[in-house]
Chains A and B, each alone.
Chain A
């Protein structure tokens, strides 16, 4: 063991209080040089609060932060960066409008007589990125590269400027499998260089892949710090939740689809350059899962269905009658609901209260001449908040202050309030911790039992399998397979996704 190694950064008995709420209560945490230390916990467990204290964004109300054994107090993240602690966030906090080289050295550009030495910067940027295995045009705009590349540029900048501790706050949330592998190579390299790395993620398999130790927080308290080979995933989940995960990880999913007249049917719906024409019908009490890689046209498909983008051709019928859906207002009128992928951007109204967020779709459907009065609003919001177990101190709280899982439930409540025919959920569990995951899955199952027709897009194969009656697979902007019955298994889905892009799929022809 490396017990003798002095931690590079250490938190001792950290207490942080927000109003009445103890967000952190006597938490100890440490990172040693050359280790990857995963920080786990449900939403609201205090992970981000702890990180914000370690990186200087918050000041602790009790306890102390030690850097190489000496107590320090960071006034802000820049101060922490100057002391060697760099942070890379899930949303890349760089400048997409500037070149890669400038992003790497902004604020530290070498100058001569006040003039920035561009050539020197570009050469250094190339050398620096080469050490991360990245050969790109450093003069190009950062925004023209994929999130994975931007993420690595952000890491390179953080390491260059700080160099002792690197905090990775959900760096892999929007990366595909290949990109995650590249990211891990980078992390391994940095670990070998002796950096202490704090890794925050919602993907347990990733934790077990690269972390040396895990620290688990629950409700602001330290549950434990364990060396990884010594604990199993089940142990970790149990520590996070304080109970066994109530998620059915059964191989084969739900029973056969309920047959009969379709509640919603899409016929040859498509849009040039976005999604090839597809046909899909959904029945009462049926969940259709949509699997496929990022960029395979999953989200585009949902956007067409909901009228966010207008289709080139095809028709939509609800309960047997053809309806015209050219914009989301018509979709809502037809009884559709859509929980988008990026809930912060497209889903919630962060500044508005929980109540306002829940009633807004219903109010829009009713029209402004039939305004709901405050009592009705309170009642509706209260009912759904209770039914979906939305945890907010009160319903007048701005939604942006809620955790990701609760925000997702607010959006779900918003659509349930209009009593929809058909719900589209795009990545409902992204960026949500394991506990809230299970709850969202339970909610989907419950809605199905109540007779809702739903389409759920998800990258989590285990999850899709757990609640889908049928699964459609998207690849290269085309619906390539429709699976049901015994075919609903991760291995079959992976095979369908992985089929060579040019070749026609037998299953697809069978379903065409």
Chain B
């Protein structure tokens, strides 16, 4: 088996086992209702995590994600409630601003040769600060479209609801998988994660790819912000605090190597779902503090980093080569 697949298989197995264990304790967890809520409640995290997957596969990190989500919720609220724009127009503007923000960070990372960690840390402060300047207080959003969207869903057999934002996340994941695994851009992202020098010598447009990766991450963080504002019907500068770290955790738990070069978008989906599962379990239990989510995620993260270390540092057996004589 391809060794890059091993962490993904492990994540999937852990998710399956954990879910089965949860069902044994609380049989009610086996319902489309719970599954539907999984998707809805974690939609913004999942969308942001897809962008993060690309960034991490390329060997970088994006710490600005949570702040961009917060900024987008506020920008949306300001555009809709204060300036009276139609939400769709507000969405387009927000996405454009978020994507441009990502592009600028990508350009800074590439042209100034500054580690992504530093650039996106600066981006995080800028976005969070910018959101507070726009409005330090939470702005409630009231608009027909918001009401319509939050009322629309596809009824799943068993009473579960596949909401619009849940569907947005699923679509983003599917598109993300195609982009990562089936396009030239995707292969460039992996190439950068493997070796930037080699990638450059092989003709990968390093500058363009780097900028596009952070643009994508910014764009998806913006989309996550829109989804978050639909989810909460509000814009608040301090929303989605620390989501970038949850996203990183989901990506790593999903089998993507933190140092880049290996990973799967599908793995990130399971990583997100695993976090949702832990949260749901805590809700069902009722007596546990929600901080247990963090503890479990911390433990899992540690486990997976250990697992990756084992898989990737173990000397891979050289393949047998058949020379034609």
Contacts and interface: CB of A to CB of B under 8 A. Distances in A.
B190 A77 contact: no
A145 B183 contact: no
B316 A143 contact: yes
Contacts of B322: 134-136
Interface stretch (A109-117, A236-244, A444-452): A109-117
Interface string A122-133: 000000001001
A383 interface: no
Given A97-B194, A111-B183, A143-B316, A106 B321 contact: no
Contacts of A135: 321-324
Nearest to B193: A97
Contacts of A102: 187
A109 B194 CA distance: 18
A238 to B, nearest CB: 36
A95 B260 CA distance: 12
Interface in B188-226: 188, 190-191, 193-195, 197-199, 201-204
A18 B325 CA distance: 47
Contacts of B187: 98, 102, 106, 109, 116
B2 interface: yes
A141 B319 CA distance: 10
A144 interface: yes
A146 interface: yes
Contacts of B188: 106-107
A94 interface: yes
Contacts of B195: 93, 95-96
B202 A93 contact: yes
B182 interface: yes
B38 interface: no
B71 interface: no
Nearest to B325: A133
A135 B316 CA distance: 20
B178 interface: yes
Nearest to A107: B203
A73 to B, nearest CB: 19
Interface string B294-325: 00000000000000000000001111011111
Interface string A72-113: 000001100100000000000111111000110011110100
Contacts of B199: 95, 106
Nearest to B2: A141
Interface in A53-81: 77-78, 81
Contact of A109 (B184, B193, B261): B184
B259 to A, nearest CB: 10
A226 interface: no
Contacts of A78: 201, 203
B194 A98 contact: yes
Nearest to B199: A95
B236 interface: no
Contacts of B2: 140-141
Given A106-B187, A107-B184, A134 B323 contact: yes
Given A95-B199, A106-B191, A134 B182 contact: no
A115 B194 contact: no
Interface of B: 2-4, 178, 182-184, 186-188, 190-191, 193-195, 197-199, 201-204, 261-262, 316-319, 321-325
7 closest A-B pairs by beta carbon, nearest first, are A95-B194, A97-B261, A97-B194, A133-B324, A107-B203, A135-B322, A93-B198
